[in-house]
Structure 1
């Protein structure tokens, strides 16, 4: 209950935005775990100095208080004034990590030291059991931390956010903290980003997909046709006016003999077969499994460079989304459409 109230209070003081500047309003500071022992030491020296009237013990107490005050100021200064901007959020399949690219900037002349960046998120036990980045392993709360030993001007960092289901993913709050220089105090701040991530279904392999990979013309499925061509030697494509410098072997001498002028013959080879990935044709019985099979087909056809089209159940309301394309970039666009399917 207390943690929920604190989370709401922190969120009110830091509105959602893709860029934020840390200042007095959203930077907090308190004793670290090690600093709690230091606070106990302050109490013991003060009580002992007062009870026994020992000026040396009281002098030690005031010295430790001065160290604490200096540490308080320096730790707060290393976090306050930082500027954080969200640059990019990748898409990922369900169960994998979405990577968030951030730009961290400091306008201070003095370097900021020992800064840590991590996304705080609650993850399931299944997600915790998966393998993660070996260089930045997650802790028991599901955080993956990136450390910056020193920051002078600006730096680009990438942080993972774990996923477990398809759809829109609201980015968890970003925690920025530092315990420099003595580790007595911990200064931290939370950044809430407005942008969301999209998670597409985990690809599900199926045998029916083999009908979409035609190696030659005889294996082409019904309804598929060559739609893209490149300059070649096999199929006649068109006649164009002769341009000086072109090979004489390509001139149509029959047209020259008939007095129709010099024309150049152009040939083309087919390079792609248009395929249709239709939601209704997927062999799975459940909605999410059908989407997962469409994701598998899109990735395969994207790697092969085969032109294809993806038809989803909600495409009747947005027919402009059903277009032909090819390559991995078009496949990623199709995966984004799958992530947005209700």
Structure 2
């Protein structure tokens, strides 16, 4: 999670993208917990690969350490000092690369229910897509084993897109292959990629299988993040496992159309909110109608009609626009 999240600006200018809340919780928190549910076994350690300490500071580290401890795991923090690709990022966590492990990119959310194949040396999680030419996909043999990774195929290879979550029975094997990639200076697009380590494992006869997720939700830019917020709210509403309206929220003449997430100490007066709206802690919304939107913490929103909006933290917004994307500390009065 060392990247700067440039496609999600202005929201990622002040908050690292993996810590931007979706349906009330930071993206990386939801991802880690969702992976833990799929694994169905204790997790000993969670290692986070961060970027520049000036960007991923002490507050970020504290949040991640608390996340790991809440799952009974030891937290480990590593730094990728240069943006040199996924393979380089993984090797930044070299001391933790032993035994069974999951590696995940922290800008995606999933819903999945399957058992890891005990015969596989590795499982690459995929999602069936309608337009595989737009993705990196896996090529399968007759035994349904992955034999090749193909990036944006011009002709049909398969409709199983790689989503950026991997399981390794012994991640030390990948570590050794990625070390070879670094030593041989194998680069694609000026970066060291996890795929080149995986290809070396395949060349040695290691068995790769697919684990297909039911839902794959991107958080790469404003449009898809707002969409993912709505989809996640619907899942949470249907599951009934999370409380979506905080007891401390103040609702005065407020109509809430579920599913919505209303955080602690939020104040809603003379509003209609929902469906598919998340409201952050201590945010005040008055005299407004809002749907399909994500509004973060400590903001004051008045006299608005919003749809497909994403509003950051500490925003003051009093207006009549509809589709907006406002970063932290923005004022429109």
TM-score for the superposition, normalised by structure 1: 0.23
